[in-house]
Structure 1
Amino acid sequence: MLEALLGAGTIGRVFRARHVDGSVAALKVLHPHLVENEDARARFLREARALSNVQHRSIGRIIGAFEESGSSFLALELYEGVSLRGVLDARFKLSPQAAIPLLRELVEALGALHEAGWIHRDLKPENVMVLDPDAAAPRNVRLLDFGLARPMVFATGDVRTAAGMFVGSLAYAAPEQILGDAITPATDWWSLGIVAFEMLAGHRPFQGSSRPAMARNLLREAPPALDVDRKLALWVEALLAKDAHQRPASFRDVLAGLNAAV
């Protein structure tokens, strides 16, 4: 039974649902007008596959996937909390002491995803649930929304639909995604760098009055200096290297750099 609408995205809506046994879950339902859309259905399938292939405390857990009456459904563990976007809207920005533990959780979640052979491709504050948002240092996160995830063996930079429409989040997309080049785990580290900068500064490093202007700035401009400890600023700067090969090579490198900044 559907109890409440929790949110909606480009390809579906998420409801709080109760099973006949009394358990509750987040039920993701494909929008009716997309039932015959192959791209949308493929994204649903990829999300189910990605979540089935990785288990980590900071990654949202899938309960099951099924089709009924011609539509597609994902049953996901229901989390009570606030998105990282909600945390930033309420606090504007976080101190390094508050941000670093949360960033560490995200690094470990992405590391588990990469070790399972997947790249998220759409990390942004809206896709991070914070289960303890009111703590002095918000913590206990869940990485969500794997609709754009790709297995590494098939990963390309193209995040467009069959009709050629860009479907990712441009403000958090890495240069190689915008240019249509091959992607690697370093693509997720770029997105983490944007998220980290926004958490620490209260705004994203690359702005633009239009999507083309934002893309140009992202591809050409250096990020502004962060007013934080030099080691932490250099860690973020390394994640935001335009050349993916210049970013940290593995989550262990990313984690070591973050720990050194404490």
Structure 2
Amino acid sequence: MMRRETMTVMVTIVDLYRPRSEPKRLSPPNHPIAQSRIKKMSEAIDALLEDLGAELGSGAHGTVYGLKSAPDRAVKEIPTDGLPPDAQASLELELRTLPRLRHPNVVEYGRVARHEGYIYVEMRRYAGSLDGAIRSLRRRRQLAPREMVVAVLRQVGAGLAYLHRPGKTDATGAPLPALTHCDLRPANVLLDEAGAEFAISDFGLCREGPGGLASMAVPVYAAPEVLRGGSHTPAADMWSLGMVAYELAAGGRPPFLSGRAPAEVYVAGWQPDLGAVGDPVVRGVLAHLLVLEPERRLTAAALVELLDTEGGTPAVATALRFKALEDEVARLWGEVAGLRAALGSGAP
């Protein structure tokens, strides 16, 4: 903790709540108002750093600490020294959005502070992560029950539907952007003490481009188009959710690549081997998420609607069969259209 105690007081507190349309009023650095603001910001960051408690965990995106004054809150310390200036600016821009988001399946964020190579983000404290739950199940040689897998699909799907949705607003009515997670994996799904409520975290920390935090993503959960150098999209998030659910249901990571290059595996006609997933309903959902063509994957909103089907599991199973038939009919019509085009182009 000595590093934090010797930090200088040149601090910037990121202003999160000012609407974009409201101009930021700046005073000259030597103006009394500016000096007063600097003093308050310095005191605020000093108080935050002094309040940091024990380390709760660390990962590719930073280290999480408890707060001495609030046992139900935590602070994530994110290093930014290695990021190019444009990546830092992009990261800060997205972090400004986080405290304005409100959804039961999205981590609740609070204060954000920036100080000499680090960004500190206050957040709700959770009991653990889905990654820890999966490791615990493996140690006991158990598989997650259907209810847990469906709950993860339903709740994480609801959180993604909220993030992906354009045109949403915050509590003040100010517009919020559509967001893509880019790095969904078990470690980024947090859960409560009972293991019944799940929330998405770290969606503001994935950055595209060289030197961005996106380069730290775990490839096993990444969509085929992303592994081939394509952009992260909402459809890529849905593939990642499917991979997370597969690992939870099967007790191990999907062996689709098995050391081979994505370009060798993910070719036209590829179908996922879901034999290790015992539950037919979960297997049916995964068959509509782990689809090679991004446009054919279930959207987050469609997934939630499917799992909310009246009649429970039997009704969901029936809906999945209907969707499979619809997809097959669409595929056959596509082949017919292709044949017609080929015959037409070959006509004299």
TM-score, normalisation: structure 2 = 0.61
CA drift of 1:139 comes to 1.1
How well do the aligned residues superpose, as a CA RMSD in angstroms?
Answer: 2.9
Which amino acid letter does the alignment assign opposite residue 52 of structure 1? P
CA drift of 1:169 comes to 1.6
Which amino acid letter does the alignment assign opposite residue 222 of structure 2? A
**How many residues are aligned here?**
243
Which amino acid letter does the alignment assign opposite residue 105 of structure 1? Q
Q: Which residue of 1 aligns with 2:203?
A: 146
Which amino acid letter does the alignment assign opposite residue 111 of structure 1? A
Q: Which residue of 2 aligns with 1:236?
A: 286
Q: Which moved more, 1:192-201 or 1:49-58?
A: 49-58
Contact kept? 1:43, 1:148, Cα under 8 Å: no
Q: Distance in 2 between matches of 1:167 and 1:48?
A: 18
**Paired residue secondary structure (2:216):** coil
CA drift of 1:37 comes to 4.4
CA drift of 1:217 comes to 6.4
Question: Over residues 26-59 of structure 1, what are the superposed CA-to-partner deviations in whole Å (9 max), with x where a residue is unaligned?
Answer: 2122337x26643663464255234234210111
Contact kept? 1:17, 1:25, Cα under 8 Å: yes
Could you say which structure has the larger radius of gyration?
Answer: 2
Question: Over residues 141-174 of structure 1, what are the superposed CA-to-partner deviations in whole Å (9 max), with x where a residue is unaligned?
Answer: 1211124457xxxxxxxx4424898332201111
Higher relative contact order (CA 8 A, sep 6+): 1
Q: Distance in 2 between matches of 1:122 and 1:163?
A: 12
Q: Distance in 2 between matches of 1:225 and 1:56?
A: 32
Q: Distance in 2 between matches of 1:13 and 1:61?
A: 17
Give the alignment of 1:162-177 within 5 angstroms: 162=211, 166-177=215-226
Question: Over residues 63-103 of structure 1, what are the superposed CA-to-partner deviations in whole Å (9 max), with x where a residue is unaligned?
Answer: 11112345322112222x12111111111321213321232
Contact kept? 1:26, 1:75, Cα under 8 Å: yes
Contact kept? 1:46, 1:146, Cα under 8 Å: no
Give the alignment of 1:1-262 within 5 angstroms: 1-19=51-69, 25-31=73-79, 34=81, 37-38=84-85, 41-42=88-89, 44-45=91-92, 48-69=95-116, 71-79=118-126, 81-92=127-138, 93-115=143-165, 116=168, 117-133=178-194, 138-149=195-206, 159-162=208-211, 166-206=215-255, 208=257, 210=259, 213=260, 215-216=262-263, 219-220=266-267, 222-226=271-275, 227-248=277-298, 250-259=299-308, 260-261=316-317
Contact kept? 2:91, 2:205, Cα under 8 Å: no
Which amino acid letter does the alignment assign opposite residue 67 of structure 2? A
Unaligned segments of structure 1, at least 5 residues: 151-158
TM-score, normalisation: structure 1 = 0.79
Which amino acid letter does the alignment assign opposite residue 146 of structure 1? F
Q: Distance in 2 between matches of 1:218 and 1:63?
A: 43
Q: Which moved more, 1:50-59 or 1:159-168?
A: 159-168
Which amino acid letter does the alignment assign opposite residue 171 of structure 1? V
Question: Over residues 1-28 of structure 1, what are the superposed CA-to-partner deviations in whole Å (9 max), with x where a residue is unaligned?
Answer: 2211112223422211235xx5763212
Contact kept? 1:171, 1:214, Cα under 8 Å: no
**Paired residue secondary structure (1:191):** helix
**Paired residue secondary structure (1:188):** helix
Q: Distance in 2 between matches of 1:179 and 1:139?
A: 35
Identity over aligned pairs, percent:
27
Contact kept? 1:207, 1:217, Cα under 8 Å: no
Unaligned segments of structure 2, at least 5 residues: 1-50, 169-177, 309-315, 319-348
